[in-house]
Structure 1
Amino acid sequence: MDDAAAKSTSTPSSAEHLCVLVHGLWGNPEHLKNLSAALRERYAEDKLHIFIPKRNAGSFTYDGIELGGERVAHEIEEHLEELNKNGNNIKKISVIGYSLGGLISRYAIGLLYHRGLFDKIQPINFTTFATPHLGVRTPLLGTHNHVWNVLGARTLSMSGRQLFTIDTFRDTGKPLLAVLADPTSIFIRALAAFKHRSLYANVVNDRTVTYYTAGISQTDPFAKMDDLDINYVKGYEPVIVDGDDPFTIKKRDVAPAFPQRLSQNTRNFFGQIPFAVFLMVFLPIGSTVFLVNSAIQSVRSRQRIKLHEEGKAGVDFGGYRIPLLNKVRGEVEDLFENINNTHEQEYLPNGSETMTSPTQSPKITRTHSMPKTTSPPSDNDSDKDSLAEQKRDKKPEIPTLALTPDQFAMVEALDNVGFQKHPVYIHNVRHSHAAIIRRMNRSAFHEGFIVFRHWLDNFQL
């Protein structure tokens, strides 16, 4: 971490606003150094204090969202107490979560809300970057998706079970993510208390957190990018997509001739060869490493969870158990992403609109074509037909993903709270999950600077 970022996270300052940054799965505070540096460049130490919790680093993120959230809440309270002892009077708080850190943050703010922190300190900004708000399970239809959902959920200890929504959280009878989005829960109330809520979701090439879950959407309108002309927010081209008018359909006047189709199919075939070689050569070896490491980390995680539950983890977290309703690691991460990236999303069959979320179904589960009229024919009918055809070309029919009932309920509840949703199109790398926050100092990740600038231009001090 650079000197400025390190100083900002450890040295008391006169700032009245505390900004907490929470890293993701397999992560550590170092992953957030560029996000922290961007904040510090925009806001001096007398304007903003930056804090990055440390107790969830590395394999500790296997321990689940609940334990992670309790650790973060406890660290925030400890840090506020330390600042207060040094004469710093914090009056505002913002919380920023990256990847799994967004879910841990949603849990932590619920605890802080219940403990009365927001009665003393005003919550201002809550932002997530590439966070799987709906979990990471692939949609239900299809054998491959079912197998992945079964196996994937059992490779990341408690966090895996919660991310794939196969857990039953305490005595609620619901998965933890469903509890996080329950309209009567402290977690939704905590979210609603923030003055400004926003999220950033990669539209392509996020091998860990696909668009629908990061963007809290029951569709993936960006599934066929080659057919779209993307519209960007002015001044943030070509990265921040206009959420209100994200794209128009490319006009295709004439179908490609047979030689062109053959050439394209040939390129697609040969383009898949490197990945096929990877699957045949490295996947068996990588799978063994992945599964062995997962088994080891799961055992260690269960031991930590047991100590945590018994109050023997060095900190007594009993006060947070409140009523809720009213190098190998890098290789393992890459393998998990590559396997997850091979699964295509499935869709509900026609006529399944009744399963969709009311907050989105009127917009995206019907064909965006001109309605039929009963007016008598006129001389202008041909012009009207032409106009209707043009509008049909611009507005595609977007099928609804085969989400679970719990996921549809999550979409509705989170939409009702309200997020400003910002789709992000990273062009230069096929690892947009890391690029969106410049997790590493790579020149190819420079589009992350545009994401930072847009976020900071909308950050409320």
Structure 2
Amino acid sequence: MDFNTGTSHEAQHLCVLVHGLWGNPNHLEVMAHCLRAKHSQEKLHILVAKSNSGNFTYDGIELGGERVCQEIEEEIEKLTKAGQEIKRLSMVGYSLGGLVARYAIGLLHSKGFFERITPVNFTSFASPHLGVRTPLKGLHNHLWNVLGARMLSATSRQLFSIDNFRQTGKPLLELLGDPESIFINGLAKFERRVLYTNICNDRSAVFYTCGISKTDPFTHLDKVKITYLKGYKEVIVDPAAPVLPREPDPFDQTFYGSFVLWSKALVDRLPVLLALMIIIPLGTVVFIINSGYQSLKSSRRIRLYENGLAGIQPSDYRVPLLIKGVQEAVDDVYENLNSSQDNEYLAVDSEGEIETNGPSSPQSDRRQLAEDEASKPTQGKLEKSDPSKHVFPTLALAPYQFRVIDTLDSLGWRKYPVHIQQLRHSHAAIIVRVQKPRYSEGYEVFRHWLDEEFII
């Protein structure tokens, strides 16, 4: 399919769309067509990146970002030869594509790209900016965040932040969020940074990581009343005051009411329980075999890539990072495993000290960081509801994740929680990955983005 939809030489604004893990350009078909319906071919040229399609997303964020960077350069060169001058650039990433796009932005910045082309919009849809590790402490951390991190080759290690990127002693995601990195400096040049994050039923990337947040006000939806932006049905949550306290129902306090609530919760979790008991044991075997096979293929591709035998010269993109120096079934198994985890929080013990048993840092570092977090006022557009009524516990994130949150928030973001209700697979629905009626709430997300946030 031709996502550029037109041959006009007048458009000076290039918008690049980047798909997610295991994805392909067709996943962004509706997004591309919504963009075209809003902005004519004379105003906007659309490029849907295709170099990371399918299992090529196993190869890691770095290689993915380098491939997308090359695609952008080749597209602009092609347009220039045809007499079309690109003066403005926007980047849009879905899921893993948001991280790949951020890596590509850093490379473009390091090459002086933004000295001649103005960066305008950066938008992410359900992108795990803080990785995909579940906020867990102790044994749970090792069972899921460590074992799960070794299932998807280089990409998985980077998403779970167990990689040692270029022998720096830091994971790639930490470098992506380093205030002195080419990635943050490049992202800072964009006129507008916008993100959309699901508040529930996203089995791939949960709220805290997609919303760049230290708390999750949507953990118990039955205990809060969600407020929505006027004019966008009950889909786009008001970021200034996302939740209000819900008055307790006296019926819920009775024995029978408690039983009804317990039964409803059991029914809601029944698909996950069935998956854990029946589907996942069988699917996990397929998943592990496929992961091993794809990881082997990915390792071979990476070796060819590093030797310059994959149609791209890595040396063109290996710049200094710091300014100062059976696929649908496999996908479903992985998401169900991830969604079976529950968040844990930093707590205050009886003596007023923070309990910090989180991973990835010495104990003293965790304790000091947790104390610092406890003393800070809640920040960010997603967390501005009345603090006297809403005190949400701090998630048990890794220390580097708190630092990345602070760095990213310092750039300024327009953050929008999304409440997908018609489909339990909200990760796909937020971008209408499939053109079916149950995915229609994603059109409201696109309408808000294009009417309110996308600068042409």
TM-score by length of 1: 0.90
Of 15, 21, 39, the residue aligned with 1:19 is 15
Residues 63 and 454 of structure 1, relative CA distance in 2, 3 Å threshold: same
Any unmatched runs of 5+ in structure 1? 369-390
Q: Deviations over 1:281-312 (max 9, x none)?
A: 22221000000000000011111111111111
- Shifted more, 265-274 versus 87-96: the winner is 265-274
Query: Could you tell me how far apart the structure 2 residues matched to 1:120 and 1:169 are?
Result: 30
Question: Which amino acid in structure 1 is aligned with residue 343 of structure 2?
Answer: Q
SS in 1 for 2:424: coil
Is the 2:4–2:47 Cα contact (8 Å) retained in structure 1? no
Question: Which amino acid in structure 1 is aligned with residue 424 of structure 2?
Answer: R
Of 330, 344, 352, the residue aligned with 2:328 is 330
Partner of 2:260: 263
Partner of 1:442: 436
Query: Could you tell me how far apart the structure 1 residues matched to 2:163 and 2:271 are?
Result: 36
Of 188, 191, 200, the residue aligned with 2:187 is 191
Query: Could you tell me how far apart the structure 2 residues matched to 1:270 and 1:94 are?
Result: 43
Question: Which amino acid in structure 1 is aligned with residue 376 of structure 2?
Answer: S
Partner of 1:381: none
Query: Could you tell me how far apart the structure 1 residues matched to 2:375 and 2:423 are?
Result: 31
**1:319, distance to aligned residue in structure 2 (A):** 1.0
**1:140, distance to aligned residue in structure 2 (A):** 3.2
Partner of 2:160: 164
Partner of 1:153: 149
Matched, 1:362 2:377: yes
Query: Could you tell me how far apart the structure 2 residues matched to 1:267 and 1:41 are?
Result: 42
**1:225, distance to aligned residue in structure 2 (A):** 0.5
**1:278, distance to aligned residue in structure 2 (A):** 2.7
Query: Could you tell me how far apart the structure 1 residues matched to 2:340 and 2:168 are?
Result: 34
Q: How does 1:28-67 map to 2 (within 5 A)?
A: 28-67=24-63
Question: Which amino acid in structure 2 is aligned with residue 338 of structure 1?
Answer: N
Any unmatched runs of 5+ in structure 2? 355-366
Is the 1:21–1:97 Cα contact (8 Å) retained in structure 2? yes
Partner of 2:346: 348
SS in 2 for 1:302: helix
Partner of 2:307: 310
**1:272, distance to aligned residue in structure 2 (A):** 3.9
Question: Which amino acid in structure 1 is aligned with residue 417 of structure 2?
Answer: P
Query: Could you tell me how far apart the structure 1 residues matched to 2:214 and 2:396 are?
Result: 8
Query: Could you tell me how far apart the structure 2 residues matched to 1:130 and 1:151 are?
Result: 23
Partner of 1:233: 229
Of 315, 319, 327, the residue aligned with 2:316 is 319
Of 109, 113, 119, the residue aligned with 1:117 is 113
SS in 1 for 2:194: strand
- Shifted more, 177-186 versus 394-403: the winner is 394-403
Is the 2:272–2:340 Cα contact (8 Å) retained in structure 1? no
**1:114, distance to aligned residue in structure 2 (A):** 0.8
Is the 1:100–1:131 Cα contact (8 Å) retained in structure 2? yes
SS in 1 for 2:417: strand
Residues 151 and 252 of structure 1, relative CA distance in 2, 3 Å threshold: same
Partner of 1:459: 454
Partner of 2:393: 399
Query: Could you tell me how far apart the structure 1 residues matched to 2:312 and 2:8 are?
Result: 24
Q: How does 1:285-300 map to 2 (within 5 A)?
A: 285-300=282-297
Query: Could you tell me how far apart the structure 1 residues matched to 2:96 and 2:14 are?
Result: 21
Is the 1:205–1:430 Cα contact (8 Å) retained in structure 2? yes
Residues 418 and 364 of structure 1, relative CA distance in 2, 3 Å threshold: closer
Question: Which amino acid in structure 2 is aligned with residue 408 of structure 1?
Answer: F
Residues 270 and 24 of structure 1, relative CA distance in 2, 3 Å threshold: closer
Residues 72 and 337 of structure 1, relative CA distance in 2, 3 Å threshold: same
SS in 1 for 2:89: strand
Query: Could you tell me how far apart the structure 2 residues matched to 1:108 and 1:261 are?
Result: 51
**1:270, distance to aligned residue in structure 2 (A):** 4.5
Query: Could you tell me how far apart the structure 1 residues matched to 2:299 and 2:338 are?
Result: 24
Q: Deviations over 1:243-288 (max 9, x none)?
A: 1111101011635211221233233335444433332222221000
Query: Could you tell me how far apart the structure 1 residues matched to 2:375 and 2:449 are?
Result: 25
Query: Could you tell me how far apart the structure 2 residues matched to 1:269 and 1:43 are?
Result: 46
Of 70, 75, 78, the residue aligned with 1:79 is 75
Is the 2:8–2:42 Cα contact (8 Å) retained in structure 1? no
Is the 2:198–2:206 Cα contact (8 Å) retained in structure 1? yes
Query: Could you tell me how far apart the structure 2 residues matched to 1:176 and 1:304 are?
Result: 20
**1:101, distance to aligned residue in structure 2 (A):** 0.3
Is the 1:218–1:360 Cα contact (8 Å) retained in structure 2? no
Query: Could you tell me how far apart the structure 2 residues matched to 1:271 and 1:176 are?
Result: 36
Is the 2:132–2:205 Cα contact (8 Å) retained in structure 1? yes
Is the 1:129–1:199 Cα contact (8 Å) retained in structure 2? yes
SS in 1 for 2:347: coil
**1:6, distance to aligned residue in structure 2 (A):** 5.2
Question: Which amino acid in structure 1 is aligned with residue 437 of structure 2?
Answer: S
Partner of 1:137: 133
Partner of 1:387: none
Residues 272 and 110 of structure 1, relative CA distance in 2, 3 Å threshold: closer
Query: Could you tell me how far apart the structure 1 residues matched to 2:369 and 2:148 are?
Result: 25
Query: Could you tell me how far apart the structure 1 residues matched to 2:25 and 2:143 are?
Result: 33
SS in 2 for 1:127: strand
Matched, 1:94 2:79: no
Residues 345 and 460 of structure 1, relative CA distance in 2, 3 Å threshold: same
**1:59, distance to aligned residue in structure 2 (A):** 0.4
Query: Could you tell me how far apart the structure 1 residues matched to 2:188 and 2:230 are?
Result: 29
Residues 358 and 279 of structure 1, relative CA distance in 2, 3 Å threshold: closer
Query: Could you tell me how far apart the structure 2 residues matched to 1:184 and 1:443 are?
Result: 45
**1:360, distance to aligned residue in structure 2 (A):** 9.7
Query: Could you tell me how far apart the structure 2 residues matched to 1:159 and 1:360 are?
Result: 35
Is the 2:181–2:322 Cα contact (8 Å) retained in structure 1? yes
**1:228, distance to aligned residue in structure 2 (A):** 1.1
Is the 1:13–1:49 Cα contact (8 Å) retained in structure 2? no
Residues 317 and 110 of structure 1, relative CA distance in 2, 3 Å threshold: same
Question: Which amino acid in structure 2 is aligned with residue 361 of structure 1?
Answer: K
SS in 2 for 1:137: coil
Question: Which amino acid in structure 2 is aligned with residue 119 of structure 1?
Answer: E
Q: Which has the larger radius of gyration?
A: 1
